[in-house]
Structure 1
Amino acid sequence: MSAWRISLRLLRRDWRSGELYLLAAALVITVAAVTAVGFFTDRVEATMERQGSELIASDLAIQSSTPLPETLADEAKTRGLSTAQTLEFRSVLVTDQTPQLVNIKAVDSAYPLRGELRIRANADTQDAPAPQGPPAGEVWLESRLLPLLQIQIGDRIKIGETPLRIGAILTREPDEGRSFFNIAPRVMMNTADLKATGLIGPASRATHRLLIAGDAEAVARYRDWIEPRLAANMSAESASEARPEFASAVERAARFLHLATLTTLLVAGAAIALASHRLVERQTDAVAIMRCLGAPRRLLTRIFLLRLVLFGLIASLVGCLFGWLAQAGLVGALSDWLGEDLPPASAAPIVTGVATGLICLLGFALPPLLQLTRVTPLRALRRDIGGPKAPAALALVAAGGALALLILWQAQDLSLAWKLIAGVMGALVTLVLSVLLLVRLAGRLTGRVRGIWRLGLAALARRPSGAVLQIGGFGIGILALLLLAVVRLDLLHAWQDSLPTDAPNYFLINIQPEEVEPLRDFLAEAGIERAPIYPMIRGRLTRINAHEVEPSDYEDPRAERLATREFNLSYGTEPQPDNRIVAGNWWSGEEAPPQFSVETGIAETLGIALGDRLTFWISGHAVSGPVTSLREVQWDSFNVNFFVTASPVLLRDEAATYITSFHLAHENEGLVAELSRRFPSVTPLDVDAILGQVRQVIDRGVLAVEYVFAFTILAGLLVMYAGIQASLEDRRAEHGILRTLGTGRRALLGSLAVEFTAAGLLAGLLASIFAEATGWLLAEQLFELEFSFNPWLWVVGVLGSGLAIGLAGTLATYPLLIRPPLQSLRQAG
């Protein structure tokens, strides 16, 4: 009979006997978690990108200081993409009052491609969505222009040579937060009226934008096509590049989802290992009989390997099915946010899920199962010989290799993956050593107690390797549950609190030096106390050390753009509250020597390292200083932040404008009109739309992570169940002997309660320590969040684990006590 046929028969027999149920459940949960996250993130990342696209009114924006070639729009249309064009320039509106500088935005009938415009018919009505921009012959104005120019809806204003009717108040445009440097109030008009104004000529200073939207893959292919064709004065950007606040929120959401997946993988891996241990015990007699019938080791090896692969494929495919159903449920739960037109899930997560299942199975289950080939035929006659013991080194190397491979694959970040691998390996070693230490301590207590306490503690100390396996399994299961509490109650709440309800929703820019103190007083009178005002100086990076900064030196398109643009520099004596120094040291005092602090992302993009000397061209002269610190910036805080900050002595004599941000309640929005009247040169920028997008990502991301962690809970419960089942064979023989020697059922039941409660307390103690430490590391190193220790975690973790495992273990092993001693000895022997 061929190895294939034998493998299929044995697989069918094992399934019918129920010996594979536990292993199958662990594998299905693992694969379901991986594929659910894979299916979900495939679809949600596209949705997040689409919602982020509302911040630039498109999926991709091409920007230029000169008219864009028509071939760019023609190529996009050929690829089935939608296009719109805008043109922005500054001009002066002249009425009977003082001339007013304005920022004019001309849009065509297709604008916006993403997001929505909102307008008010007059100052007393609520705003409403507008499907497109103003019709020909009409303009829309920001509300602050009406009191400044003393005009009203229905009046006509002259733009260039053309009088246009004021049709509405412009309250929101999708890409209004694209730049903080629109220093004048907005006027929106139709491109059909542009030529008649006479304001735009070949040499006019204007910003031309081509907006593109459509299928994500088609947009990506178009970007690949256009990148090498962009001139030096052109740039292409997506929402994540335009708004780092949104990109930061999306990145954190993805990290939380991958964290949930990795946690499930680790916990389910422990369940697979425990289930494999029990399967080996149950298979030993069958293999001994096969050896008696002449089966060679080579044939047994092939049979076990084929059976494991077949089982893994079937269980993994079932897990993929559950994963697809799970992501469908999650998408349904988030339908109000994701919408009904989500792209279909790709087949890639199925491949990932099956591969993950096989790697888990081969890494955790294959080494102990291969030891069955070493079973001696004599085992069929002498049950006291026992089963073969797998070398601990082989099992650890295989399990460690599988974990490392899965972490590297799932983490999607090499640096993060190595940190996780080191942490997991260190935690496992610490766990084993801690359990051995605690078991030895229990053994010493055995001689000092009597009755059921002695029986229970002796049972715990009698099998050190079994105790390590069992308590380790309990500890990992409890750790999974406690990690859910840490992530849900501490990390996710900290993430939500990182964008509080009073996060800044207004920026004030173009504040002149003489307006700083009057503006600060004005805001204080309005009850806005927390509005720090920062200086801002424009400068272009020209040199890094002795090397001239040239766009052609960089392959990364973003680095090329940064090499051509001006930076917004600032200075101060203290780093801002949401900045964290990760390398070097911040300066101290107003008279600290000239030096710079650089944000880590921009430093990595431009190749700036600690100790490099930067030179900026500011107002016609060069300013230089060394980089003495690198900062991580919490961009989604919505506070004012800068890529590059300098010591005061370096920039305080440069010409500067000032910027601030603050929170303004909706019922107090009338304050903006008063502010514009008293400070006409100051430009208020409403970023409520961006703030709402980021807050929505956080809220829905929290729900998605909680949903995925349900798999971790199932895996945690499964690993605790597997830990209880792992020792049943040994207990059957022990209880038979103790019953034969006269030990009563009540005493045995009490000893079981003592043993399992002690195991639960030890496991809960270790799990609480690891959960608290893991939460702190995740908060500080991965998510850059504030973490506070939770005393209730220890109460629930230690006492709750002792009670729960004590009760569950006692109930699970109680059936062994009600059997006659002779029956137990026969089954064990």
Structure 2
Amino acid sequence: MTTWRLTLRLLRRDWRSGELSVLAAALVLTVAAITAVGFFTDRVEATLHRQGSELIAADLVLESARPLAETFAARAQAQGLRIAQTLEFRSVVQGERPQLVLMKAVDAAYPLRGQLRIRSALDASDQAVAAGPPVGEVWVESRLLRLLNIRIGESLNIGATRLRIGAILSAEPDQSRAFFNIAPRVLMNRADLDATGLIGPVSRVTQRLLIAGAVSEIDTYRAWASTQLNAALTLTAARDARPEFSAALERASRFLHLATLVTLLVAGAAIALASQRLVERQTDTVAVMRCLGAPRHLVLRVLIGRLVLFGLAASLLGCLVGWLGQAGLFAALDDWIGVELPPASPAPLLVGLATGLIALLGFAVPPLLQLAQVTPLRALRRDLGTPRLSAALTLSAAGAALALLILWQAHDLELGLKLLGGVLATLLALIGSVLLLVQFAGRLTGRVRGVWRLGLAALTRRSATAVLQISGFGIGILALLLLAVVRVDLLEAWRETVPEGAPNYFLTTIQPADVAPLQAFLSEAGIAAPLLYPMITARLTQIGDRAVEPSAYPNPRAARLASREFNLSYGAEPQADNRIVAGTWWSEGAEAAPQFSVERGIAETLGMQLGETLTFSVAGRTVTGPITSLREVRWDSFNVNFFVVASPALLQQEAASYITSLYLPAAREGVIAELNRRFPSVATLDVEALIDQVRAVIERGVMAVEYVFLFTLAAGLLVMYAGLQASLEQRRREHGILRTLGAGRRTLLTSLAVEFTAVGVLAGLLASVFAEATGWLLATQLFELDFQLNPALWLIGVLGSGVVIGLAGTVATYPLLIHPPLRELRGG
């Protein structure tokens, strides 16, 4: 009880005296940032995933070529989830002539996410509807009307029944799942399916169960359903629907977590600097306690107990600030966000509390352990100073806390390990560079005179403090410069991955005989001739000496890929938005050799290795070749891309159709209507809705990152303030001695300006170098974006930090010069 009474008494005294103000601000800011980011990212990512759900018309989709067991629907309904069921199959409809179509029968609940778009006439505008066609009616693609020469309102023979054409089907939320569909699409009500007589025991039907609901319930259901999968049953989540959307969503998530981790790192530096100042201010108090008989273990318990209680109080306040911050932001940006956000969960509060305590214990406990080493003699001899603690212990504790928090907050082991390695390397390089610069300043001191010598000598006289200050300033400036790099350069590069004018139409199933006429038609329409790529359907049968069997892959996505047909292509050069990451592309002289280039993601999913042989079945013929390169593909560019590309001689003898993509503004959509009339076999796919979804993810992701970096900005400013405060106690005594020896106020003030300006220039120089290097690594290695050097960054980093820190440091220490020297020497 004595320990706790003493702990509470000292905590109240320190709080009233303002001793804990800087440390409290650093900790509250840390927890507020983590909590606000937690609330914000949870809600924004849930919204982004909800937008992804619109691409599959649900949150989860179970798909099978066989009837789905009733247990899947029953389990979903028992959990309070909404369900819808669809069936897809190919059939033939009768008009002037038979026509192959892709039939899709949907129930009244479809779609669970997103909206259908229909038109009442060929030249009418789209309108959104919430449900599919009514009983007795079908909606068809405009291409089918032209192929059969029929109109809206007429009836269509579908199997044993006739159904009225009620509207033109413009778009379905899950249309992108059948990206390269050859046949026109027909949407019908599932209640009409039995009357058609088209579905029998041996019919090839794709059955889907669509599921939607709360995020937690969806996660629970997904975990259960994953254990029920087999080779014939696949489970697709929203973010796995399309690689274009998946890439944008992945980048958004990484940007948000990166912003969180940068804030955490910078605020941790502020905690470390504030703890160092607290140690200096508490040394006399501990010395008096030791004189009054307090044993060392009691002092240690009181210090740790006070720190824990203080940490809990500051962390709770930080949680409140974080919650208010995110709530205020969402209220202010409600119209901009434009979508309904899910409510915040309490999980970020617990994460914030835990993060605050871990950060405080890791960064603040080692400096406070110094106080336990204070001897009673310090109360009489102030020149004894504060006992030094092992640098290895201090760095180890801070490094362990930093590693734990980074790996925890990254939510991605690969991202966490990369950031941890980068952060540790940057900190070591930063500290090493500071040591070298301080030594250089020491050598320069002997070659200058007057206030210049006095100012530079201060760096070498307090070398440990100088290293701590410059490192702290460097981290703070680095955070501010990274804010500029990420905010301006990387986010703008991310926006440009889907620039204005990105292809919004895909033309597929172009027959060789139509290639030249189609190019001529597009030229006449004033559209630059797009590149046409050959496309050949093939089935992967063997990887190396392993037969490709879906049942051999426990990963549902891998099993689905193993069971599907691939669209192969061939070419002499890689596409402009493809990057070779392993191996080499075939050269012109070696094009006769059979070779494959594989997209890196699918190679990892299916276990393909560079140098292994792939075997495909193409129209009954076997083609074989080694993997000679792996590619990174920018799926969100919306250009035509392929998972597997072959050398020309391997596939150019095979029968192929062609595919291309092009951009058409809304005012020129009539070109597509004329194209469909003149080339009825060419399938056109409008991906404008998909592009809009990806752009929405990018824009909201950018907005989220900008918000998160406001905390980084505040943390960077706090680091610099804590750095200025870190050496005040030492300066107080030094200035008292110098003024006693005859140094004037103007001389000391000028030397302070020289010292802090030099500190600012050195910190700015290091921060600029590391900001450019970090920006390059983030762009090329983490986000797969283009990066360009920013000369303005160096001007702001070096000159700006020199001026700002020089002025701020001089102003902050000026009060030490206006008091009488005797007062400073007595510590008054």
Bigger drift between 269-278 and 33-42 goes to 33-42
1:797 aligns with 797
Residues 698-720 of structure 1, C-alpha deviation per residue, up to 9 Å, x if partnerless? Answer: 00100000101111111100000
Amino acid at match of 2:804: A
Q: Secondary structure, in 3 states, of the residue corresponding to 2:251?
A: helix
Q: Which moved more, 1:182-191 or 1:356-365?
A: 182-191
Deviation at 1:621, TM superposition (A): 2.7
Query: What is the CA–CA distance in structure 1 between the aligned matches of 2:186 and 2:339, rounded to whole Å?
Result: 35
Shift of 1:481: 0.7
Could you tell me which residue of structure 2 aligns to residue 63 of structure 1? 63
Q: Given the superposition, is the C-alpha separation of residues 592 and 809 from structure 1 closer, same or farther in structure 2, using an over 3 Å criterion?
A: farther
1:157 pairs with 2:152: no
Match of 2:603 in 1: 603
**Mapped pair 1:368 → 2:367:** yes
Question: In the alignment, does 2:512 pair up with 1:513?
Answer: yes
1:421-440 aligned at under 5 Å gives the runs 421-440=420-439
- The total of aligned residue pairs comes to 827
User: How many Å apart are 1:115 and its aligned residue?
Assistant: 0.6
* SS of corresponding position for 2:627: strand
What displacement does 1:764 show? 0.8
- 2:751 corresponds to which residue? 751
Percent identity over paired residues: 70
SS in 2 for 1:365: helix
Letter in 1 for 2:443: R
State the distance in 2 between where 1:121 and 1:283 align. 79
Q: Please name the residue that 1:692 is paired with.
A: 692
Partners of 1:292 and 1:226 lie apart in 2 by 68
What SS does the aligned partner of 1:7 have?
helix
Moved more, 742-751 or 446-455: 446-455
2:94 aligns with 94
After TM superposition, list the pairs within 5 Å mapping 1:577-726 onto structure 2.
577-589=576-588, 591-726=591-726
Letter paired with 1:35: T
Distance in structure 2 (CA, Å) of the matches to 1:635 and 1:82:
31
Matches of 2:257 and 2:171, distance apart in 1: 35
Aligned match of 1:782? 782
In structure 2, the residue corresponding to 1:113 is in which secondary structure? coil
Instruction: Name the SS of the counterpart of 1:827 in structure 2.
Output: coil
Contact 1:28/1:319 (<8 A) preserved:
yes
Choose 228-237 or 245-254, whichever is displaced more.
228-237
| Length-normalised TM-score, structure 2 | 0.96
SS in 2 for 1:177: helix
Instruction: Assess, with a 3 A threshold, how the Cα gap between structure 1 residues 474 and 90 changes in structure 2: closer, same or farther.
Output: same
What is the SS of the residue equivalent to 2:353?
A: helix
What SS does structure 2 have at the residue aligned with 1:144? helix
Q: Distance in 1 between matches of 2:261 and 2:554?
A: 34
| Counterpart secondary structure, 2:622 | strand
- 1:95-494 matches, within 5 Å, as 95-96=95-96, 98-230=97-229, 232-336=231-335, 341-494=340-493
Q: Residue 417 and residue 78 in structure 1: after superposition, are their counterparts in 2 closer, same or farther (change >3 A)?
A: closer
Q: TM-score, normalised by structure 1?
A: 0.96
Contact persistence 2:230–2:551 (CA under 8 A): no
Question: Match for residue 84 of structure 2?
Answer: 84
State whether residues 177 and 686 of structure 1, in contact with CA within 8 Å, keep that contact through their aligned partners in structure 2.
no
In structure 2, relative to structure 1, the CA distance for the partners of 1:430 and 1:224 (3 Å cut) is: closer
Residues 415 and 214 of structure 1, relative CA distance in 2, 3 Å threshold: closer
Query: How far did 1:337 drift?
Result: 6.8
Deviation of residue 101 (structure 1)?
Answer: 3.1
The one-letter code matched in structure 1 to 2:80 is G
CA contact (8 A) 1:47 1:338 kept: no
Measure the CA separation in 1 of the matches of 2:311 and 2:611: 53
Deviates more, 1:484-493 or 1:551-560: 551-560
715-724 or 8-17, which moves further after superposition? 8-17
Shift of 1:194: 2.5
- Partner of residue 738, structure 1: 738
Q: CA deviation at 1:230?
A: 4.4
Task: Identify the range of structure 1 (465-474 vs 518-527) with the bigger mean alpha-carbon deviation.
Answer: 518-527
- Contact 1:330–1:704 (Cα < 8 Å) also in 2: no
Aligned partners of 2:228 and 2:458: how far apart in 1?
Answer: 75
Counterpart contact for 1:64–1:208, Cα < 8 Å? yes
**Aligned equivalents of 1:18 and 1:142: distance in 2?**
72
Q: Show CA shifts across 1:714-765 (max 9, x none).
A: 1100000011111111111222122222222222222211111111111111
SS in 2 for 1:729: helix
Measured in 1, the distance between the counterparts of 2:709 and 2:418 equals 21
Larger mean Cα displacement after TM superposition, 141-150 or 803-812 = 141-150
- Once the two structures are superposed, residues 112-156 of structure 1 have per-residue CA deviations (whole angstroms, 9 ceiling, x without a partner) of 111111222223432222221111222222233334433333233
Q: Secondary structure at the match of 1:784?
A: coil
Aligned counterpart, 1:760: 760
Tell me, in whole angstroms, the C-alpha distance in 1 between the residues paired with 2:770 and 2:601: 31
2:527 corresponding residue in structure 1: 528
Q: CA deviation at 1:241?
A: 1.9
Against the structure 1 CA distance between its residues 224 and 266, is the aligned structure 2 distance closer, same or farther, given a 3 Å change threshold? Answer: closer
- Structure 2 vs 1, CA of residues 475 and 780 (structure 1 numbering), >3 Å: closer, same or farther? same
Q: Letter of the aligned partner of 2:794 in structure 1? A: W
Q: What SS does the aligned partner of 1:629 have?
A: strand
Does the CA-based 8 Å contact 2:52-2:241 persist in structure 1?
no
The 1:530–1:393 alpha-carbon spacing in structure 2 relative to 1, beyond 3 Å, is farther
* Cα deviation 1:320-378 (Å, max 9, x = unaligned): 12222222234334534766753332232222212211111111111111111111111
Q: CA RMSD in A?
A: 2.0
Q: CA deviation at 1:696?
A: 0.3
Inter-partner Cα distance in structure 1 for 2:504 and 2:661: 7
Instruction: For 1:152 and 1:404, locate their aligned partners in 2 and report how far apart those are by CA, in whole Å.
Output: 66
Which deviates the most, 785-794 or 438-447? 438-447
Cα pair 2:23 2:275 within 8 Å, conserved: yes
- Whether the aligned pair in 1 keeps the contact of 2:229 and 2:556 (CA below 8 Å) is no
Q: 1:699 to 1:22 in 2, by over 3 A?
A: same
Q: Distance in 1 between matches of 2:814 and 2:318?
A: 33
Flag the 1:300–1:243 CA change in 2: closer, same or farther, 3 A.
Answer: same
Q: Note if contact 1:595-1:625 (Cα within 8 Å) is conserved in structure 2.
A: yes
Contact persistence 1:44–1:338 (CA under 8 A): no
SS in 2 for 1:399: helix
Structure 1 distance, partners of 2:737, 2:221, is: 77
Q: Secondary structure at the residue paired with 2:746?
A: helix
For residue 484 of structure 1, report the CA deviation from its aligned partner: 0.3
Deviates more, 1:511-520 or 1:175-184: 511-520
Q: Give CA-to-partner distance per residue, 1:568-622, whole Å, 9 cap, x none.
A: 2222222222222222222212625212222222222222222222222222132
Shift of the alpha carbon at 1:541?
Answer: 1.9
Instruction: Indicate if the aligned counterparts of 1:119 and 1:128 stay in contact, CA closer than 8 A.
Output: yes
In the alignment, structure 1 residue 542 sits paired with structure 2 residue 541: yes
Distance, in Å, in 2 between the alignment partners of 1:606 and 1:168 is 42
Letter in 1 for 2:245: F
Structure 1, residues 789-824: CA drift from partner, whole Å, max 9, x if none?
Answer: 111111111111111111111111111111111111
Work out the CA distance in 2 between the residues paired with 1:91 and 1:628. Answer: 41
CA distance in 1, matches of 2:773, 2:575: 27
Question: Contact 1:138–1:166 (CA<8 Å) still a contact in 2?
Answer: yes
One-letter amino acid matched to 1:652 = Q
Distance change in 2, residues 1:593/1:372 (3 Å) = same
Instruction: Give the letter for the 2:222 counterpart.
Output: R
2:609 partner SS: coil
The amino acid across from 2:166 in the alignment is: G
For 2:554 and 2:149, the matched residues in 1 are separated by: 51
Q: Does the CA-based 8 Å contact 1:540-1:565 persist in structure 2?
A: yes
The Cα shift of 1:304 comes to 1.3
Secondary structure of the residue aligned to 2:179 is coil
- AA aligned to 2:699 is D
What are structure 1's unaligned runs of at least 5 residues?
none
Give structure 2 stretches of 5+ with no counterpart.
Answer: none
| 1:443 match: secondary structure | helix
